Amino acid sequence: MDKKKIKVTLIHEDKKVCEKTVEFATPVFDIIDAFGLPVENIYAVKINNEVRPLDTPIQFTANIEPILNNTKDGSSVYRRSLCLLLAAASHNIFPEKRLIVGHSLGHGYFYTYDNEKSVHVDVINKLNKEMERLIKEDLPITTEFVSYEEATKLFEKLGMKETRKQLNFVCSPKIKINSIGDFSDIYFGPLVRSTGTLKVYDILQYKNGFLLRFPRTSDPEHLEIFKDQPKLYEIYQKYKEWGKRINVTSAASLNELVANRQINDFIDITETYQQKNISQIASQIVAKKTARVVLIAGPSSSGKTTSAKKLALELMAMGYTPKVISLDCYYAGRDKTPLDENGKPDYECLEALNVNLLNKNLVDLFKGKEVNIPSYDFHTGTSYFEEKNKLKLEKNDILIMEGIHGLNPKLTPKVPDEYKFKIYLSALTQLNLDDHNRVSTSDNRLIRRIVRDNNFRGKSAAGTIEMWPSVTRGEELHIFPFQNNADAILNTALDYELSVLRVYAAPLLRQVTPLEKEYSEARRLLTFLENFSTIPPTVVPPKSIIREFIGGSAFHY
């Protein structure tokens, strides 16, 4: 019997390049090679808009789009593979040590060893040497399915207790594992084909652990320049230690609380701890004595609006009268807004704001004068004034201004530094999925944004995913470079929130079809959310930051 023939179409930059007919179950790697493409620069493929590894057999009519090493998806594949390589190297030379991945820092991931206060340089040198050996041997990176029972025994033997515990919440008779040599692990997404690909990396001793540093996305032959973020590290460590004290450090730990009906107490503890940190920041503002304006900045969906309102309540309890103003009020107007590279108004650049008017208003307010705060109509793209927006600062009044440019010194050059108190917000959860898979801050915020955009703006998940790259580019340019200018950092993540957000986000993500280019990202986020048991939204307190995204807040927005 003749083998079934399959039609495949090569896609490049959203355009059909050529077509071929191949035999049923031909690996996509062989198809790409037949097309004459440089396979060494291709880390994975999109098959009908789903990201898949290169060894995937083609069993149906497919559009194939190579994922190159200098793309966001290609960079994700490389990073994921490098994490597996590090875990394998660590297991080979330190089988008694338990490696734990942490947060993103300095274009890398922060790692520690469980129950060890520091990582000596000798350990790092040995890790480097073993990784170099594995790379030189160019070992295959394999993916296979094993039975559920085999997987549980495997991770018990490897001492990966959080990975083993998370299997308690996986309803599947088979588990997909990834392996290098005798070491196996679980990663959520495609990996490169062999260790020889992973030549660009660095291990840098840092604080009580080390950083696994990655190459640039746009230039994968070179490492990103290291930029230290000491304040962000301090906040993460503070929350990580808190998580250890309350014994909730992973998705599995959270899922156990849900299963045992103990989640309500954890929600109360989490909300109380966050409010305590807001209260401490309010005390710092008061202690400064000269502070006249609190500038709050943070990336999209970091909870700036609710944080400003919660901070205002704390300051009121201390005898102050806060006046909250959004920087959105100072948009100059659509006709005065610079255009981005796509010819669209760039509302995220500083030049989109009427900085001169803002500084004049602030100087006048601090002199005791009354000023008329502008309003902005996003529908017409125009600025206007209303009598009701007149403002004058009395003796115990303090301004709170929130917006993405709050920490940029060019926003308020006419305001003396002693008048400013700057706060940076970050949704930095201390939870991991398991021992070697972290929860991305960017993913957390994107899921928040998907839920909020649908609830309050009627936007589809595909619509939010489509515009997210432009949002993150704006953050890289206008927010992250200034985070070290902050007088205080507030972590706005709540460790139970993804279990609540899943209730809203999962149905929205399932509406994205394989015919849409956003499908691959929707599938990835769905897979990520499946690690969290759901929590009913009814248990979320009315003044929680999460209410800014799911609705039902006691605050007026």
Residues 317 and 458 in one domain: yes
Identify whether 433 is part of a domain. Answer: yes
Pick the last residue of a domain from 14, 41, 68: 68
Dihedral sign, Cα of residue 223, residue 228, residue 234, residue 235:
negative
Measured at the alpha carbon of residue 212, what is the angle toward residues 208 and 214, in degrees to the nearest 5?
Answer: 150
Asked if residue 179 has pLDDT above 60, the reply is yes
Residues 152 and 34 in one domain: no
Summarize pLDDT for 328-339 with one digit per residue, the tens.
Answer: 999 999 999 998
Residues 185 and 279 in one domain: no
Measured at the alpha carbon of residue 533, what is the angle toward residues 528 and 534, in degrees to the nearest 5?
Answer: 105
Residues 162 and 43 in one domain: no
Per-residue pLDDT, 134: 99
| CATH code for the domain in which residue 510 is found | 3.40.50.300
Identify whether 555 is part of a domain. Answer: no
Task: With beta carbons less than 8 A apart as the criterion, state whether 8 and 62 touch.
Answer: yes
Asked if residue 14 has pLDDT above 80, the reply is no
| CATH code for the domain in which residue 50 is found | 3.10.20.30
Asked if residue 41 has pLDDT above 70, the reply is yes
Q: Indicate the number of domains in the chain.
A: 3
Label residue 146 exposed, middle or buried (CB < 10 Å: 0-12, 13-18, 19+). Answer: middle
Q: Helix or strand or coil: residue 392?
A: coil
Per-residue pLDDT, 557: 83
Q: How confident is the model at residue 2 (pLDDT cuts 50, 70, 90)?
A: low
Identify whether 557 is part of a domain. Answer: no
Rounded to the nearest integer, the mean pLDDT of the chain is 95
| CATH code for the domain in which residue 90 is found | 3.30.980.10
Q: How confident is the model at residue 347 (pLDDT cuts 50, 70, 90)?
A: confident
Q: Which residue has the tokens 């490169």?
A: 192
- Neighbouring C-alpha atoms within 13 Å toward the C-beta of 230: 3
Average pLDDT over residues 138-167: 97
Residue of 493, 524, 531, 496 lying closest to 509 (CA atoms): 524
Q: What is the dihedral of CA 353, 356, 357, 358, to 10 degrees?
A: 70
Greatest pairwise CA separation for the chain in angstroms = 90
Identify whether 12 is part of a domain. Answer: yes
Residue 296 is inside which H or E element, if any?
strand 293-297
Average pLDDT over residues 172-186: 97
Average pLDDT over residues 463-485: 93
Average pLDDT over residues 357-370: 97
User: 529: which 2 tokens?
Assistant: 């959310």
Domain span at residue 61 reads 5-68
As a whole number of angstroms, the distance between CA 164 and CA 153 comes to: 8
Pick the last residue of a domain from 183, 208, 228: 228
Per-residue pLDDT, 1: 44
Identify whether 556 is part of a domain. Answer: no
User: 119: which 2 tokens?
Assistant: 């990582």
Pairing of strands 141-147, 174-180: antiparallel
Give the predicted TM-score (pTM) of the model. Answer: 0.95
Asked if residue 530 has pLDDT above 60, the reply is yes
- Say which DSSP state 229 is in: -
User: What one-character-per-residue DSSP string does 315-352 give?
Assistant: HHHTT-EEEEEEGGGGB--GGGSPB-TTSSB-TTSGGG
Per-residue pLDDT, 344: 82
**In terms of DSSP H, where are the helices of 119-262?**
121-137, 148-157, 161-166, 230-245, 251-259
**Phi and psi (nearest 5°) for 66?**
-60, 140
Per-residue pLDDT, 412: 97
Label residue 51 exposed, middle or buried (CB < 10 Å: 0-12, 13-18, 19+). Answer: buried
Q: How confident is the model at residue 106 (pLDDT cuts 50, 70, 90)?
A: confident
Asked if residue 110 has pLDDT above 50, the reply is yes
- Say which DSSP state 438 is in: B
Average pLDDT over residues 252-271: 98
Asked if residue 293 has pLDDT above 50, the reply is yes
Average pLDDT over residues 71-75: 96
Average pLDDT over residues 535-552: 98
Pick the last residue of a domain from 14, 46, 68: 68
Per-residue pLDDT, 340: 83
Asked if residue 517 has pLDDT above 50, the reply is yes
- Say which DSSP state 354 is in: -
Residue of 342, 528, 370 lying closest to 447 (CA atoms): 528
Residues 110 and 57 in one domain: no
